[in-house]
Amino acid sequence: MLMLPVALVGVLLSIGFKNAVVDGLEHKGRVDMAVVAPDYEARDSGEARAIADFTLKDRTGAAVSLSAFAAADLLLINIWSSTCPACKEEVPSLVELDRRLPQLGKVVLLTIATDSGWEDVQSFFPQGTDLRVLFDPQEQVTKGIFGTQKFPETFVLDKQRRIRARFDGRRPWHSREMFDYLRLFL
């Protein structure tokens, strides 16, 4: 007789444990996606604001236009400054994202620094990095076109160069969750 209540308690504890584990895993998934959730998102491309073509200088002093990336299906633009501690912390994740972007297809990452030139920011990057860095010291693009108020700020632009998402602050750019999010726009 005593065996039945003990067995019943054991079954109930097992079910409770299983539910707690499932709830914990679901919560972890929500937390992970919360880390990569944008601060602005235009799911419908009709409500997204288009970005006008612009030209800035790269690390070598060459002029680079947004229109040079017309073949890209998705363009990520990260706006930052060397005076921003969160920006410096974010650089390794951006470098890794840039290295892995070919896995997504025609996706390009551009960074725009408000610094004067490469000599101001080169210490942020590992030797031999290919990350595209453009410079906007007068902030004509960062503030004038994108309306950036704080750093870092990252924009996701679709094929028609409409803003589909904006992220304020640093993010785990090379994470699986971020790749899953970016795939939604491809």
User: 131 in helix, strand or coil?
Assistant: coil
Residue 26: predicted pLDDT:
47
Q: Is 44 exposed, middle or buried (0-12, 13-18, 19+ CB in 10 A)?
A: exposed
Residue 91: predicted pLDDT:
94
Residue 132: predicted pLDDT:
95
Q: Which of 2-6, 48-52, 75-79, 149-153 has the lowest mean pLDDT?
A: 2-6
Residue 30: predicted pLDDT:
42
- The DSSP code for 124 is G
How many Å separate Cα 80 from the centre of its chain?
13
Put simply, whether the predicted model's pTM sits higher than 0.85 gets the answer no
State the Cα–Cα distance between residues 160 and 125, nearest whole angstrom.
Answer: 30
Half-sphere exposure of 34 (CA within 13 A, CB side): 6
pLDDT category of residue 17 using cuts at 50, 70 and 90: low
In sequence order, the 6+-apart residues with CB closer than 8 A to the CB of 167 are 36, 38, 39, 153, 154, 155, 156
Could you read off the pLDDT of 21-66 as tens digits, one per residue?
445 444 444 445 566 789 899 877 788 999 999 999 999 999 999 9
State the Cα–Cα distance between residues 63 and 67, nearest whole angstrom.
Answer: 12
